[in-house]
Structures are given as structure tokens and as C-alpha cells.
Structure 1
Amino acid sequence: MTQNELPMNLREDNISEETKKLISSLPSDKDAQGKLCKYQGCWYYYNTLQAVINFQENFQPQNTDIVLASFPKSGTTWLKALSVALLERSKHDDPLTHPLLSDNPHGIVPFFEIDMYLKSSTPDLTKFSSSSPRLFSTHMPLHTLKEGLKDSPFKIVYLCRNAKDALISRWYFRCKYQKNEVARSILESMFESFCSGVGFYGPIWDHALSYWRGSLENPKNVLFMRYEELKTEPCAQLKRLAEFLGCPFTKEEEESGMVEKILELCSLDNLSGLEVNKTGKTWMNVDHNSYFRKGEVGDWKNYLTLEMENKIDMIIEEKLKGSDLKF
């Protein structure tokens, strides 16, 4: 496969000489998809690292910016949809004009490092100029993200998901994205990388810990949410998110069923059934329908052996020891 045929984040044709020198000094490894290097404690493909550096050096934050953060396949699409629906609810009395009906959540809320700054070191942000707050997303750990936010009083929402469910979701996503059969051998390879911590955006435990500690140190600016709690108590968690984003529900809205309407609009069944999500693609040629599978809690039990389950649990317990974080 030539460089031009590779997914954008796996290519190596957009890397500056300065970044190449940096890469040569960093810990390196590879997975089934490509070469990896470890920067500020997190593993990236080379082009993604260039995008991270572009973001850190060039992004100009605004005080009202909101960043939605997560480890890959941890409910990112759902968090984006819910946040858009909360912030847009006063602007769209006509449900037919709602942005979620005409674009995928990832098209509305771009990623810093696998969208905006992967395309360009100085992306055009004028389309955000009329919106306040501006809404962005990332899979970077908190300390790396903060370097690009330059001490701005930003707000960050982090969605954490059970590590075993995140692994299974990522397995299915990778197979569908690469148009491969959902093969057990691919899962086993990903499992080994997952447990070693050497994988795109890994290790998952360090990723979650960065935001967990950030939320304890600065709860006004960092909200730590759990995917499982969004599933079991959606109304309470949506109201918690709205409060944090600065757009709490009024008594009248709650009485009119607005909380339930937003949850229905952003439900897996509803979003996956929209035409834009059945047929559309992202700019990186990923099918929109790849972002919608089961969304279940505990689905990993259908795929992981007892030995695999125990190994992940032991690693996570060891890595999170003393932090009071559990996932």
C-alpha cells in the first residue's frame, strides 16, 4: 500500500524535519497498523503526533471554549451529540433544522488532532467565529491538551468507559474501518497491545488518570463522567452535563420533557437511523455508520475469555492503585 492509499493519520508524508528529529529521540514501537512513538506519555502514529504538535503550537483558545475528551471508543459520538443538543436547544425550535439531523456528531464537533490539525498546521477556524462557546474534541491526555490551551479557563468534559468494553468496540471499529472480517486473531493482537499499553493513545489507564486527577484538582473546569452512569441514570447525568456546560435546564424545560427529548434525539437507535449516519462519510472516508454498534455495557463478556478478563482486571487494578479511580 502506498503512502497516498494509507489513512491520513498513518501516513508519514506530512511531517516536518523538526518533528522527524523529535521522533528519532522518542520511544518507538509499532502495531498492526503502523509505526508508533511515545510523546508526553502517550502513543501516537507519526502524522497524528505532527497534528498534536501543530495544535500545541498554533491553537488560539478562547475563554469560553469547551473540549470533549475521551479515550477512543468510549462513547465519544454520544457525548458529542448530547453536548451539541444541549448547547443548540434554544436555537432550534423547528426539529427539522437541528444540526444533528444533517451532519454526524463528528462533523459538527471536530477533533483537534485527527481532524483540524491533521489537515493543516493552521486550520481555518472562521466557521466557529459566530458560535460561543466553541465546541471541540480530542483523544489527547489532559497534560498534552492543556499545553495547547495555554492556561485559558476552558471547560473539559471527559467520558470514561470500562476498558474491556472500549477494547471490544475498538476491535469492531477497526475491522469495519479497514473492511476486514471481524477476526478473532485481530482481537487477540489488539488485546496484547492493549495490555502492554503500547497502542494508539495508550495506555488507557494513564489516559483516564490524567483527567481523573484534573477533575479532582480543578472541578470547575474538568468534568469526569462515566459511560456506565450515562446508561443507567441518563436524566441525572444529562442535567449534570448541562450544569457544567453553563446551560442548565430550567424548571419549565424539565416539566415540558426537554431532558427526555434530548436523550431520545441522541439515542443510538435514533442517530443510527438518520440518513446522514446511514450513508455519509467523514473527511477521512470513515463511514458514519461505523460509529454506531451496540453501545451496551458489559458486551465484552461475549468476546473475552476468562483469562483475558482477569489479565486486564489485574493490570488496571495495579495501575490505578491509590488513585480511587475505578473503571
Structure 2
Amino acid sequence: MHKKEKLISMETSPLPKPKYLKEDGLSKECETLLSTLPTKSGWTIALYNYQGHWHYARQLQGVLSCQKHFQALHNDILLVTIPKSGTTWLKAILFSLLNRTRFHPTQDDHPLLSNNPHMLVPFLERWLYMEEENPDLSSFASPRLFASHLPYASLPKSVQDSKCKIVYLCRNPKDIFISLWAFTNKLRLQEMGTNSIEEVFDKFCEGVTLYGPFWDHMLGYWRESLKIREKNYFLTYEEMKEQPDLHLRKLADFLGCPFSPQEEKENMVGAILEICSFKMMSNLKVNKEGKLSYSEVNNNTFFRNGEVGDWKNYLTTEMVERLDKICEEKCDGSGLKF
């Protein structure tokens, strides 16, 4: 090949896909399972329905490995959300809360100042068990803090059978939809174009979204929180935004690490909320320029505006009525309201 031809070839060859869009390197078990599952076009990549919820291929491999190998300890803490419910914020809060004696929230070398929260509180099925079939978790400090987007019925049996505590963060589905629409459009490659809000709204209402249907996901944890309150803490994003100091104290009590009178005097609650604030985290260099090693997603995609009620700027009256009707019908009699 001549030098000029070689240059042209290099310029026109497609760039490698980021990890979050790859579907190769799957185990034989996963490939066999995928061939039997219902599949639909997703928001960025094909989705497969497993145990009543939608997953992409590499993530499903992580789900299978997690279900097979993860052994929960009685003092483990698991933060669960459906995507775009405020996961990044609550990861930061729980990490700061549980590690406040090791890392005071006002110290200059606090881990949150140089790490995205997703790197400090690892996802089980979307990182640890997606990278390795059976990772060694022995180096994690006690109590171990993990995160997951798994629906309750798909959690590893050891989680359901143990005394480990589950914190579930819920959010108004209308805001989840807008945040997810904006987020997934950032993940699409240029040649893929962007999803129209109308197209993905139909998918969302049909339950075809990552880990969806959203109503089944939320109701699963809501019902568990009513049955076993000492194990399951159900919190809404809206409540946390409205009274963050109150709910941070409640989380501390639930997790068995209440604030001491001395900590209250020193305003530990305020210090934690400050370092975990949207303004603080979104302006850090690591969150402006870095990316997640396990997925190659840019850190800045996790910080849009963090506001309640942003859906009002995007959804038509007809969209609002359709989504409200779905929520009313699906949650009827459950006690869960938005």
C-alpha cells in the first residue's frame, strides 16, 4: 500500500466503539441465553428481556455472574435505583456518610474531589461482575457499599436472604424520562444520530427501557419496604431535594451510623451535603474531563441540572396525561404516588 493510500485508509476506518456499546466477548452461557430472549431496539443498543426487565448484552452477562457468585454479607449496604433517578448524587452522599471518620468532608484530599462517585461506589452487575465472572471483593472496607440497578426479583439470592440493608431511591417518572432521553442521546455515536423525544417516549411508556418497565422496578422495592422496614429504605429524589438534612439524618439512623452530638455541633450534615452538592461535583476537574474506566462513559454526562420538575420544559400536555395515566393504573392500590 502506498503512503497516500495508507493515510486515506486510516482516515476512513471507523473508530472503535466505546465499551458501553460493545456486544462482543460474551460467555457461551450468555450467548445461548440471549438467543432465547425477546429483544427490541433500545435507546442506544439492542435490549433483551430477562426476568421481565430489559438489559443490554454485556450487562446481562454481569447480571448472570452476579446472581451466580455474589455472596452478600449481613452488614453490606446496597444502593438501588432505576437509571437517572439521582444515583450519582446518592452514591456521593452514602460514601461520604459511611466514611466520614476516615475522610472528613472538608479535607482537601477527600476522595470525592478526585473521583467520580461511580468509581467510589461500584455497580455490581454493571462493573464488578461485568468485568470478571467472580471478582475478589475481599479488599472492600466494612461495611461494604455497592450499587445496583437490578429489579428486586433479579437480585442475587444472597441479598434477599441476608440482613444486608437496601436503600432504594425513586424519582418521578416524568423527570426520569427526560434525564434518560438527554443522557442516552449523549451516549449515541455521531453516525447514530439522536433519538427524538417522541420515539423514546413511546418506548418508555411501553416499558422498553434499560431495567424497565419503570413501574415494576419501583413497585418491587416499594412493596419490600412495606414488608421489612428494617432492611429496606425507600426514599424519593424529591424528598431528598426538599429536605436533604432531614433525610441524611434518617439515612444515618437506618444504616446504624447516626450523627453524634459533637458531629451535629460541628455541622457534619451540612459539610457532607456541601461536598456532594451538584454545584460542587459538576465543577470538579475529574467530572469535567474524566471518564469511567469500566464503561468509557464521560463523567460530565452524569451532570445535567439535577432539578425537580424539569419535565415541564419538554413534555406536551398529551404526554403528561399518558404518563400520569400509566402511573395511576400501575400503582393503583399500592400506596405509591408521584
Task: Calculate the TM-score normalised by the size of structure 1.
Answer: 0.93
Q: Which of 300, 303, 307 is the equivalent residue of 2:314?
A: 303
Task: Say whether the 8 Å CA contact 2:44–2:187 is kept in structure 1.
Answer: no
Matches within 5 A, 1:123-134: 123-128=135-140, 131-134=141-144
In 1, the alpha carbon distance for the partners of 2:103 and 2:335 equals 41
In 1, the alpha carbon distance for the partners of 2:20 and 2:134 equals 17
Task: Say whether the 8 Å CA contact 1:9–1:114 is kept in structure 2.
Answer: no
In 2, the alpha carbon distance for the partners of 1:10 and 1:320 equals 33
Distance apart, 1:10 and its partner CA: 4.1
In 2, the alpha carbon distance for the partners of 1:185 and 1:140 equals 25
Task: Say whether the 8 Å CA contact 1:160–1:225 is kept in structure 2.
Answer: yes
* Superimposed CA distance per residue, residues 209-254 of structure 1 (whole angstroms, 9 cap, x where no aligned partner): 0110111111111100000001111111111111111111112211
2:331 matches 1:326: no
Task: Say whether the 8 Å CA contact 1:43–1:202 is kept in structure 2.
Answer: yes
Task: Say whether the 8 Å CA contact 1:3–1:11 is kept in structure 2.
Answer: no
Give the 3-state SS of the residue equivalent to 1:97 in structure 2: coil
In 1, the alpha carbon distance for the partners of 2:308 and 2:252 equals 23
Q: CA RMSD in A?
A: 2.1
Paired AA for residue 298 in structure 1: G
Q: Which of 85, 100, 105 is the equivalent residue of 2:112?
A: 100
Decide whether aligned partners of structure 1 residues 262 and 61 sit closer, same or farther in structure 2, where only a CA change above 3 A counts. same
In 2, the alpha carbon distance for the partners of 1:89 and 1:140 equals 28
Decide whether aligned partners of structure 1 residues 210 and 289 sit closer, same or farther in structure 2, where only a CA change above 3 A counts. same
Task: Say whether the 8 Å CA contact 2:289–2:299 is kept in structure 1.
Answer: yes
Percent identical across equivalent pairs?
A: 49
Task: Say whether the 8 Å CA contact 2:68–2:156 is kept in structure 1.
Answer: no
Give the 3-state SS of the residue equivalent to 1:96 in structure 2: coil
Task: Say whether the 8 Å CA contact 2:78–2:164 is kept in structure 1.
Answer: yes
Decide whether aligned partners of structure 1 residues 99 and 58 sit closer, same or farther in structure 2, where only a CA change above 3 A counts. same
Task: Say whether the 8 Å CA contact 1:37–1:45 is kept in structure 2.
Answer: yes
Matches within 5 A, 1:223-302: 223-283=233-293, 284-302=295-313
2:27 matches 1:20: no
In 1, the alpha carbon distance for the partners of 2:225 and 2:15 equals 40
Paired AA for residue 264 in structure 1: E
Paired AA for residue 139 in structure 2: K
Which 10-residue stretch deviates more, 171-180 or 136-145? 171-180
In 1, the alpha carbon distance for the partners of 2:33 and 2:15 equals 24
Distance apart, 1:58 and its partner CA: 1.1
In 1, the alpha carbon distance for the partners of 2:188 and 2:152 equals 29
Give the 3-state SS of the residue equivalent to 1:12 in structure 2: coil
In 2, the alpha carbon distance for the partners of 1:110 and 1:269 equals 23
Aligned residues: 323
Unpaired runs of at least 5, structure 2: 1-12
Distance apart, 1:11 and its partner CA: 3.0
Distance apart, 1:185 and its partner CA: 4.8
Task: Calculate the TM-score normalised by the size of structure 2.
Answer: 0.90
In 1, the alpha carbon distance for the partners of 2:272 and 2:174 equals 28
Q: Which of 204, 210, 222 is the equivalent residue of 2:220?
A: 210
Structure 2 counterpart of 1:172: 182
